[in-house]
C-alpha cells in the first residue's frame, strides 16, 4: 500500500558545476583541522579504538556504489595492530556480505569509532584486506567463538572528529529516546515491504529473536 505521507515536492538539485561553486563558497578549514590527520594511529586514538564497542564501516564497489554498515563488539575487540594497521572482526550477519564483496573489487574502507557517552569520534580511512590469520581471529573470540575473518585496514588517514553532530543529535542523552514499540521491528518492516502474510511475519519475528539470542558470535543452523 503506498504511503501518501511520504509525498512531498522534490527539491531543486544543483548540477556538478553548481555543487562545485557552492562548496567553494564555504570558509577554508582552519590549519589545525587539516593538520590533525596524522595518517597513523597514535596512543590517544589507539586507546579510543580499543575502548570503542561500535563503529560504522563504509565501503564501495568498483562502480562507486557506497555501503555503510554497523559493527558492534565488546570493548577490546577492535584491534590496533600497530600505528599503521587496525582490524575489525566480521561477525555473523545476514550473509549479504555487502562490504566483503566490495572489498574484493575496491579495497578501501572508512571507519568511524564511537564510545557511548563520548561525543568525539575517531575516523580511520585506508586500504583493506581480509585476514584468516588464526592468532588474530583467536584474539577476537567472544564466548569462545572466533570470527570467520577479520577486516584489516592499512591506515592512510586517521584523526579525531569533533563532537558537533553528537551534540546536535543529543545521541547519548535520553531526550530523543523512544520505546521499542514506537518503531516497527525489522521482521515487520521487511514483511510489509515484501507483502508477506501475518504468519510469515510472525515466523520471521521468531527467527530474528533466536538470531539475536543465540547467533551474535557464531552462525546458527
Q: Residue 18's pLDDT is what?
A: 97
Q: pTM of this prediction?
A: 0.93
Give domain 30-169's CATH superfamily: Electron Transport, Fmn-binding Protein; Chain A (2.30.110.10)
Kindly give the pairing relationship between strand 85-90 and strand 149-161.
Answer: antiparallel
Q: Where are the domains of the chain?
A: 30-169, 180-214
Helix (H, G, I), strand (E, B) or coil at 28: coil
pLDDT the model gives residue 6: 73
Q: Residue 204, SS3?
A: helix
**Which residues in the chain show pLDDT less than 50?**
1
User: E strand or H helix at 51, and its extent?
Assistant: helix 43-51
Amino acid at each position: 500500500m503506498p504511503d501518501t505521507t511520504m509525498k512531498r515536492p522534490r527539491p531543486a538539485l544543483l548540477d556538478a558545476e553548481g555543487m562545485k561553486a557552492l562548496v567553494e563558497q564555504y570558509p577554508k578549514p582552519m590549519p589545525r583541522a587539516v593538520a590533525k590527520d596524522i595518517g597513523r594511529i597514535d596512543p590517544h586514538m589507539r586507546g579510543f579504538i580499543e575502548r570503542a564497542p561500535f563503529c560504522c564501516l563504509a565501503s564501495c564497489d568498483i562502480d562507486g556504489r557506497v555501503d555503510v554498515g554497523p559493527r558492534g563488539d565488546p570493548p577490546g575487540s577492535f584491534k590496533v595492530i600497530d600505528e599503521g594497521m587496525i582490524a575489525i572482526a566480521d561477525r555473523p550477519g545476514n550473509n549479504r556480505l555487502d562490504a566483503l564483496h566490495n572489498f574484493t573489487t575496491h579495497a578501501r574502507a572508512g571507519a568511524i569509532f564511537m564510545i557511548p557517552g563520548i561525543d568525539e569520534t575517531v575516523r580511520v580511512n585506508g586500504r583493506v584486506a581480509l585476514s584468516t590469520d588464526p592468532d588474530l581471529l583467536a584474539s577476537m573470540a567472544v564466548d569462545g567463538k572466533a570470527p570467520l575473518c577479520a577486516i584489516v585496514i592499512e591506515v592512510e588517514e586517521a584523526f579525531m572528529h569533533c563532537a558537533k553532530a553528537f551534540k546536535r543529535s543529543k545521541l547519548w542523552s535520553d531526550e530523543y529516546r523512544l520505546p521499542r514499540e514506537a518503531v516497527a521491528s525489522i521482521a515487520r518492516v521487511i514483511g510489509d515491504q515484501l507483502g508477506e502474510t501475518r504468519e510469515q511475519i510472525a515466523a520471521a519475528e521468531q527467527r530474528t529473536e533466536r538470531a539475536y539470542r543465540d547467533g551474535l558470535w557464531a552462525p546458527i543452523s
